Amino acid sequence: MAKLELNEYRLFDPEPGVRKIARELYEQVKDLPIISPHGHVDPMILADNKPFPDPTELILIPDHYAHRMLYSQGVPLESLGIPSVDGTPVEKDHRKIWQIFGDHFYLFAGTPTGVWLNHEFYEVFGIREKFNGQSALRIYDQIQEKLNSPEFLPRALFKCFNIEVLSTTDGASDTLEQHKKIKESGWDGRVVPCLRPDAIVSITAPNWKPEINKLEKTVGYEISSFKNYIRAIEDRRKFFKAMGATSTDQGVYSPYTHELNEAEAEAVFQRGLKGQASEDDGNLFTAHMLMEMARMSVEDGLVMQIHPGSFRNHNQVVFKRFGADKGCDIPVATEYTNNLRALLNKYGYNPALTLIVFTLDETTYARELAPLAGHYPALRLGPAWWFHDSYQGMTRYRQMVTETAGIYNTVGFNDDTRAFPSIPARHDVSRRVDSNFLARMVTSHLIDMEEAQKLSKALAYELVKKAYKL
């Protein structure tokens, strides 16, 4: 049996002086509560508090990081039990699926997914054997036994993980019934929604009009004008805020911002209702709605997040068979200096706005995003995101933004995960990487140990809590 071991110095610099300080900084923050301000965990898990069905359903099926690696090596998504949207039969035997996962786990060596999963196996489930084809079913049975126990119910794990607050991501038309159920249950875990209006903003998308119809049913009035459309979004924001939300989020292809006048906005909106909106209309409408969402954030205090630069559903074969979020989104080059100028010139100095911007284009960190965040009071930089949520990616992020934007114009870490048991693993990686980065600064005499200790706590806990008003 090959033993699974987690070295206590993992992700720390091999240079002894740096490693010693990194370990000391990490020790003071490793047990701090987790603030998870942006992610995609289904609130139903915590509302129902039912046992997780099995390891495959919990760990593999929700995780598009795992899907994409396996798919890239020729493993059909059908064989992984990923539910299809077109009726294509998929594998239902979860032990068989788990065996496939074990047979191919070697593919994740050196990747953040491999780091997270080994942490989950070792720390969450107490596994002491390396996961591979030979051990897969033994480990499956060990995890299954744990999942059948009260200590591994979702709410028990929430407490075990030391999660102080967890934010979900919810559509504009969502009734938030699961959040209501959590509140009414009397449980003291804090789970809050986050408003994601993408489906009602993407005016050229085939499902935009049906989404507007859903929004009409939710708000209880007709949305036949741009004025009523804005009213509906404002009403939803009020509802989300009443349910505990502190933020909104928009996934946009481009961070282009541009303000239309009232007549122009109405004309574009009407073309959308008639199914006649052009690609230019779609770009202008999204740009205007970023301006509108910033205005609303100034008025109601909800933090505004922008996640630009992903070519969603690049693989149309996978999208048509399995739907969105199946690992086939690809980054694109993204520009921020010109695209954000209209929004920042109108609201970037307003103390009522907190705008958190992410990127999948690392070339923009030092050239554009750090200088922008180092100037505009409203702007904060989101952490290394998605493909860069990794040991090297987080390190590059700190190296490229710190000298220009500093630490306090960033917002700590968020895990952005669908895989609930990966939350502590992801935060642990972030705390280790940041501790190591600060240790290098100490050994280079850029900061002293007292400053490093203060910054370490800020990065692990304080910055995210402040930025997201949690």
The pLDDT of residue 134 is 97
| H-helix or E-strand spanning residue 166 | strand 163-167
Structure tokens at 214: 């859903």
Judge whether 6 lies within some domain: no
Judge whether 96 lies within some domain: yes
Q: Decide if 344 contacts 380 (C-beta within 8 A).
A: no
| Whether residues 189 and 262 fall in one domain | yes
Say how far apart CA 335 and CA 313 lie, in whole Å: 21
| Whether residues 56 and 45 fall in one domain | no
The pLDDT of residue 112 is 96
Helix (H, G, I), strand (E, B) or coil at 300: helix
At residue 454, what is the residue type? K
Say how far apart CA 115 and CA 123 lie, in whole Å: 12
pLDDT, one tens digit per residue, over 320-370 is 999 988 989 999 999 999 999 999 999 999 999 999 999 999 999 999 999
Q: How far apart are the first and last CA of the chain?
A: 45
| Whether residues 325 and 233 fall in one domain | yes
Q: Decide if 39 contacts 414 (C-beta within 8 A).
A: yes
Check pLDDT > 90 for residue 66.
yes
| Whether residues 222 and 371 fall in one domain | yes
Say how far apart CA 191 and CA 189 lie, in whole Å: 6
Q: What is the largest CA-CA distance in the chain?
A: 71
| Whether residues 35 and 128 fall in one domain | no
Judge whether 8 lies within some domain: no
Q: In the predicted model, what is the mean pLDDT of residues 132-136?
A: 98
Its domain, for residue 227, covers 16-49+153-467
Q: Decide if 296 contacts 237 (C-beta within 8 A).
A: yes
Check pLDDT > 90 for residue 252.
yes
Instruction: Give me the CATH number covering residue 218.
Output: 3.20.20.140
Structure tokens at 344: 């920042």
Structure tokens at 236: 């939803």
Structure tokens at 300: 């109601």
pLDDT, one tens digit per residue, over 144-189 is 999 999 999 999 999 999 999 999 999 999 999 999 999 999 999 9
The pLDDT of residue 235 is 98
Helix (H, G, I), strand (E, B) or coil at 447: coil
Check pLDDT > 90 for residue 1.
no
The pLDDT of residue 107 is 98
> What are the residues whose beta carbons fall under 8 Å from the beta carbon of 262, sequence distance 6 or more?
226
DSSP structural state of residue 167: E
Hey, CA dihedral for 359, 363, 368, 370, is it positive or negative? positive
